[in-house]
Chains A and B, each alone.
Chain A
Amino acid sequence: MWRVSMRSALAVLAATLALASIALAQQAPDTGQGRLAAPRMAGRGQAPVTARDNDSTVKAIERQLRCTCGCNLDVFTCRTTDFTCATSPAMHRVVVARLDSGMTAAQVIAAFQQQYGEVVLMSPPKHGFNWAAYLMPFVGLFIGLGIVGAVMRGWFRVRPRQPLEGGAPAEAGAAPTASDDEMQRLQRELERFEA
């Protein structure tokens, strides 16, 4: 009887231990989820990431919008870099909400522009005076090319015409002469000059 009860007790104990270890094993991932000793020291609390946070359309829109906190960064860069800023996450939520309401990307951007003015766009919209921003560098390039071309033409015009091959024309006077030694010296000098 004692043996039987002993066996039963051991079986119960073993079963209890097994159940406890299974329960502990199931709880194992959660042990790491304990609260931090000093949560405030780990920066501003974050909301779990959703699929919309990684949506390529959302990111593309946010890269064209400037965060209005004064940081000079676009909304996507600000909200994924400066985790103390409350403005860029709020703007992100507005972008997502506007897309969810059925607006297209262009309409979302236009809505932001209407709300904050052109300054909210990361580059000037291409209309009116803003075209000057885009065109002037290339206008500068073409003006530069024109000036360089004109200067070069001037240089060529004043350059005395010289035949590339053959002897000197008769009216040009006696052709320059040089000894072999002089020619070799000239060659050496030219090589040094080129180096």
Chain B
Amino acid sequence: MTDIGNIALWIALLIGSWGSAVAFAAGRSRRADLALSAERSMFVMWGLLVLASAALMQALLAHDFSIEYVAAYTSRNLPVFYTWSAFYAGQKGSLLFWAVVLATFSAAAVLMNRGRYRELMPHVTGVLLVTITFFVAVMVFASNPFEKLGFLPQDGRGLNPQLQNPGMVIHPPMLYLGYIGIAVPFAFAVAALLSGKLDTGWLQAIRRWTIASWLFLSVGVILGMWWAYVELGWGGYWAWDPVENASLMPWLTMTAFLHSVMIQEKRGMLKKWNLGLIIGSFLLSIFGTFITRSGVIASVHSFAQSNVGWFFLGFLVLAGVASFALLAYRWPALAAEARLESMVSREAAFLFNNLIFIVITFSVFWGTLFPVLSEWVRGTKVTVGPPFFNQVNIPLGLLLLFLTGVGPLIAWRQASTANLRRQFLWPVAGMLVAGALLAALRMSDAWAIAAFALAVFVTVTVAQEFVRGTLARHRQYGEAWPLAVVRLVGRNRRRYGGYVVHLGMVMLFVGFAGMAFKSDTEVTLRPGQTTEVRSPYGHVYRFMHQGISQYEQLNRFVSAASLDVYRDGKYLGVMKSEKRQHMDSMGQPTFEPSTEVAIRSDVREDLYIIFAGSVEGTEEAVYRITINPLVWWVWYGGMVLALGGLISMWPTGRAPTPVKRRADLAGYVARVDA
């Protein structure tokens, strides 16, 4: 079966090369037979990559340790649940995962647009096939998941314990889906540039793809934060690690695009900018892959260093040069169809919002690469860690939060003074009251006060939009309040879905601001001994150490330290943190012992307890007790954000959207011109 997988990759390489060539030839010559051949190549590629994936999965489940990848990432006693996730836990498997998901997305995009966008589709197919073929080539020439060992080990090395977590089963696929999903909008953008079909047709085709890939990326990033929080045990969820930054950057540019594309749809402006954002997002997703796999920048998340990084760097440079050269070539044809009529308009607000998104992206990019730059320029290594990123990005993030509230309040084209007064009165009043209240309560952190006050500002803007819309429906159609809300959202899914996303962002910022009040305490406790810790809210937590129990469980030996927890004298329950020593199937320890955190979360604060170890092999335990305020808001904010994204992308089946109307109009004008 593994030989079949290997052969499938080689055939995929040949088919992909053929398909890419005929796709671009079809786009240039407009020959239908070549276009059909390219489409078929796409479907065959998909079939071959599914076959290769099935072969690798079979080898993983059958413990075929003659394959280097299987021996490196699984063992006989690894639970099946995690054996599945070993598919993408290592470099070679994750490359195959990328390729098969990209092939699936690409085949779906070709299938869904059959008979439509005839001038674009051959180029779209070509770009997607080139990208898939690149991944297949990397596997075949540099990182083959079917590479065999020269001997047959009795057991595999097993999966890193930190990857044996439910979050790690879902988080990487989600992130990959987000990264990979960007390839489809990128392919349509490049196809529009290649074909010269620069009307809004390509925007219409990618609308749902962009929201879907943004949604996957959002969920992937937040799940990654959750995994880091519950598994890594350092008491936080975002460390500004280069790999974390790599996932954030395309998310920022995609979010900017989702805003600026509205201006192109409604006003025919920012065409060059939007094309640039899509190209940039795709390049940043490849850049993230380069960072993770090249070892050029130190990161806790990196795969083992190998030469695949240079393949990605080459692809990144080629794709960047080709895409931006095309954009430059079509520059004159991308003139705006309308002009900005006022600085006080939604268009202007979106422009500033885009600017802040891009500046934050730049600051993250700059901070991530600065150590490399410093070494080049000065020959001195420096570290760019959380203190730098927080210092630079907190003010920019708050500015963005402010614009999140401002954008929806201002009318398109030009806002009148009366309009501004009507829209801003309550949000600004809410912001000022919240800020004054927090200052009066002597909140110590100025940035946190600003974040909470702006959170109130944005929340009031969203609430105001919902209240006014519902009131209007209630008055006009006599609908009951709940029905009016449902229909209001249902009839304007993109707009109100966007507002829900904004609410999610507010919740995330509230959670981020809460970390300003984090506290850590280390204690040593004998069984029966207690300690007290005061939370930022003034609650007094009392912890009583029960003792340490040891037992075997699945593929590990567990040492569990338990604490009875009381808040203000009231018993809350038992919290148990563990040290896990994973074993192989012969009972020998593998990897270093890992820590399982005990977390008790509520809307106000998280109790986060780590069992550091025992003193001299006794039941006397060392704990780190961390109180993390408002972390709950991050996870639920993420859910609200995802819900908003789903509402926005849900099909309406109603009247044509503004972009469709513009596309139709463009077609009509073209016919008249002809």
Contact = CB atoms under 8 A, between A and B. Distances in A.
B615 A46 contact: yes
Contacts of A33: 526-527, 618-620
A113 to B, nearest CB: 11
Interface centre among B351, B359, B377, by most A CB within 10 Å?
B359
B130 interface: no
Contact of A41 (B235, B355, B366, B581): B581
A140 B387 contact: no
Contacts of A96: none
Interface in B535-588: 547-548, 550, 557, 559, 579, 581
A51 to B, nearest CB: 10
Interface in B613-632: 613-620, 622, 624
A41 B385 contact: no
A15 B314 CA distance: 88
Contacts of A159: 339, 341
B362 interface: yes
Nearest to B242: A72
Interface in A167-194: 192-194
A90 interface: no
B358 A84 contact: no
Interface centre among A45, A72, A194, by most B CB within 10 Å?
A72
Contact of B495 (A64, A83, A195): A195
B490 to A, nearest CB: 12
Nearest to B614: A42
Interface string A13-56: 00000000000000011001111111101111111110001100
Interface string A112-138: 000001111111100011101110111
Nearest to A48: B524
A37 B362 CA distance: 54
A171 B622 CA distance: 88
A123 B362 contact: no
Given A129-B374, A141-B396, A195-B495, A54 B526 contact: no
Contacts of B622: 46-49
B559 A42 contact: yes
A77 interface: yes
A71 interface: yes
B615 A47 contact: yes
A70 B297 CA distance: 12
Interface in B315-368: 336, 339-341, 343, 348, 351-352, 355-356, 358-359, 362-363, 366-367
B155 interface: no
B340 A41 contact: no
Interface residues of A, number: 67
B408 to A, nearest CB: 12
A83 B581 contact: no
B595 interface: yes
A46 B525 CA distance: 12
Interface stretch (B96-104, B181-189, B500-508, B515-523): B515-523
Contacts of A72: 239, 241, 298-300, 385
B559 A53 contact: no
Contact of B355 (A35, A36, A145, A192): A145
Given A47-B615, A137-B396, A148-B351, A53 B522 contact: yes
B348 A152 contact: yes
A47 B391 CA distance: 35
A117 B380 contact: yes
Contacts of A148: 351-352, 355
A133 B524 CA distance: 41
Given A54-B522, A117-B381, A84 B592 contact: yes
Contact of B232 (A38, A59, A81, A120): A81
A66 B383 contact: yes
B44 to A, nearest CB: 43
Interface residues of B, number: 81
A77 B234 contact: yes
Contact of A141 (B340, B359, B377, B610): B359
B548 A124 contact: no
Contacts of B370: 124, 132-133
Contacts of B396: 137, 141
Nearest to B548: A36
Nearest to A85: B592
B59 interface: no
B526 A45 contact: no
Contacts of A34: 618-619
B258 interface: no
B4 interface: no
A36 B617 contact: yes
B388 interface: yes
Given A33-B618, A121-B382, A49 B522 contact: yes
A46 B613 contact: yes
Contact of A122 (B298, B340, B386, B529): B386
A156 interface: yes
A26 B358 CA distance: 67
A76 B234 CA distance: 10
Given A33-B618, A46-B615, A66 B380 contact: no
18 contacts: A32-B526, A36-B617, A39-B617, A42-B613, A46-B612, A46-B622, A48-B622, A71-B300, A72-B299, A72-B300, A73-B239, A77-B234, A80-B235, A84-B593, A124-B382, A133-B366, A137-B363, A145-B355
Interface of A: 28-29, 32-39, 41-49, 53-54, 59, 63-64, 66, 70-74, 76-77, 80-81, 83-84, 117-124, 128-130, 132-134, 136-138, 140-141, 144-145, 148, 152, 155-156, 158-159, 192-195
Given A140-B359, A192-B655, 8 more contacts: A29-B529, A36-B617, A73-B234, A83-B593, A83-B595, A118-B381, A119-B380, A136-B362
